Chain A
Amino acid sequence: MFDILDTGASGLMAQRIRLDTIAGNIANINTTRDADGKNDPYRRRFVVLAPGRADDPSLPGVHVQQVGIDPSPLIRRYEPGNPEADKEGYVSYPNIDLSIEYVNALEASRAYEANVTIMDTAKSMFTSSLRLLA
């Protein structure tokens, strides 16, 4: 019965990392420079989940296999007065859509709650089984 809690915990961890990635995307929605100050807009990150636990993929659970970078084209906006603009007057912004990130965040949040519910249920089943000894 205890391994059900480990499975639920792996789900919680995976969804939390997913939410962290989404938070990073939203925070950097207008970031046009990299850490060294060069003109290199932030690219959207996404998590790739895989079945099995991180320490032992043969055990039931889930883990983050990788945090990938979205290769889709950057968003270009015509802003000729912007110092970041190229020769044609376009500024490249991160390829992040706020509405998509909100929906993904909502889905991650609901999945997190579902994993908590599963763990609560497993705990109460275990507690009721202990009453056999009483």
Chain B
Amino acid sequence: MFLDRLLNQGNAPLLEQWLQFTEARERLLAEDVANVSTPHYQQKDLSLAQFQSALRERMNLRDSSPPGAVRFEDISMDVQSPRHNLMFHDGNNRSMEQLMTDQAKNALMHTLAVELLRQQYSVMEMALRERVS
């Protein structure tokens, strides 16, 4: 109980969900790039805006609830197909520029979340060791 509360305080659960989101999105982006020449393939993606909105709602709920009452692990996203892309003659709605931009941004967000989470764990570790170093 104590350990569960310790690990779920602050922004750690939020950042863990962020990491899971970026990993899941990277999988879809990899599949989209692999199928860039496949006829009739429709690109797949996870909506960043929807994920941020879901996280924000859960955070607001947590702030107004008792500690440990609200969890983040059950946030789920639906796979979508971008509708604004041009449809090519082979039925594929590829956009290489958008894919490479999205994967670069996704990687940066993942790295940022890892750094923030590492700092959280480092503060917990310092507290446990009763030493600042």
Contacts and interface: CB of A to CB of B under 8 A. Distances in A.
B104 A7 contact: no
A50 interface: yes
Given A10-B34, A61-B31, A114-B33, A51 B118 contact: no
B125 to A, nearest CB: 11
Interface stretch (B3-11, B46-54, B59-67, B95-103): B95-103
B114 interface: yes
A11 B37 CA distance: 9
A15 B33 CA distance: 11
Given A114-B100, A121-B104, A131-B114, A11 B34 contact: yes
Contacts of A7: 27, 30-31, 34
A122 B26 contact: yes
Interface string B21-44: 011001111110111111101000
Interface in B69-93: none
Contacts of B19: 129
B100 A14 contact: no
A60 B22 contact: no
Contacts of B103: 117-118, 121
Contacts of A15: 37
A15 B35 CA distance: 10
Given A114-B100, A117-B100, A49 B38 contact: yes
B101 to A, nearest CB: 12
Contacts of A3: 27
Interface of A is mostly: helix
Interface string A4-39: 100110110011001000000000000000000000
A128 interface: yes
Nearest to A3: B27
Contacts of A51: 31, 35, 38, 41
B9 to A, nearest CB: 17
7 contacts: A4-B30, A7-B31, A15-B37, A62-B38, A121-B104, A125-B23, A132-B117
Interface of A: 1, 3-4, 7-8, 10-11, 14-15, 18, 48-51, 60-62, 107-108, 110-111, 114-115, 117-119, 121-122, 124-125, 128-129, 131-132, 134
Given A111-B37, A124-B107, 8 more contacts: A4-B30, A48-B39, A49-B37, A51-B35, A60-B30, A114-B100, A124-B111, A125-B110
